[in-house]
Amino acid sequence: MLGHMPHAAADLTTAAPGSARRVADVWTDLATDTTTPADFSVDMVSGLPEPVARWLLRSIDVGAALRTSVIVTMSGQIRIGAWRAFEARQIIAARRGYIWAAVARFGPLPVRGFDRYSDGSGEMRWRLGRLIPVVTATGDDVSRSAAGRLASELILTPAAALSPGVNWTAVDGDSAMAAVEVDGTIHDVTIHVAASGTLDSIELLRWGDPDQTGFGLHRFSAVCTGELRSDGFGVPAHTRAGWGDLEAFIDFDTERTVFL
């Protein structure tokens, strides 16, 4: 069975990258193997809204182990004042947590650090040139925003769409809404699916302060194109995301995925 064959994790370390050294123990915990005895079969999408079934039948190979954690390697541009090149690696454990560890360039100096959500709390820690703190953020608002982000990362762990903590409702022939439970709070994430089964976009109301006027619920969306496949799963190859009607703040290519 495909679900019991060696997979790409065999040749990629699951250790935390240097920019997330402070939370290496959390990274290790999130990187726990999630392989279950169950393998994906067509009957598992029975009863789901048609757009969800179409997405999952495209995104998960029949016979693939239902892994719900993934390490994602990506690169692109992030808007911090101006657009700046970045490289990142992210561990996502569906509905449990994530760490996004990245390095961006500010002229000759790197800004490195991480965003984290785990055990119900969020955190952001970034430094210029390893020494000068530029962002240090924790607290209820950060945690609530990070939980919404984790809910939206469902698109990078397709098998999690079948979990008991995710309930689906049809919107129309190409869209469906997932009620994703994260640490006791429900986040409504709407996916839009192409006729081919690949994702076109997602959106949700996410807690944040994108316009610097105070925290609240704001529309957050991502446009997805292409497909990258590994370990029996397909995920968007390119993503551009942002808040409301504001200009997107991140644009990246997914270079590699390793499902755990």
Euclidean distance between CA atoms 26 and 59, whole angstroms = 28
CA distance 111 to 210: 21
10 Å CB burial of residue 195 (0-12, 13-18, 19+) is exposed
**What parts of the chain have a pLDDT lower than 70?**
1-13, 37
Separation CA 45–CA 247 (nearest Å): 36
Each residue's pLDDT tens digit, 69-125 = 999 999 999 998 899 999 999 999 999 999 999 999 988 889 999 999 999 999 999
What size, in residues, is the chain? Answer: 260
Return the pLDDT at 238: 99
* Whole-number pLDDT of residue 13: 61
pLDDT at 245: 85
Nearest alpha-carbon partner for 49 in 192, 188, 154:
192
Q: What is the pLDDT of residue 8?
A: 42
How far is residue 233's CA from residue 227's CA, in Å, rounded to a whole number?
A: 10
Residue 1: per-residue pLDDT: 32
What's the pLDDT at 242? 97
Give pLDDT, residue 29. Answer: 95
Q: What pLDDT does residue 142 have?
A: 98
Residue 187 tokens, joined: 């986040």
pLDDT at residue 12 in the model: 52
Bridge partners of residue 56, in order along the sequence: none
**Domain 13-259: CATH class, spelled out:** mainly beta
CB 123 within 8 A of CB 137: yes
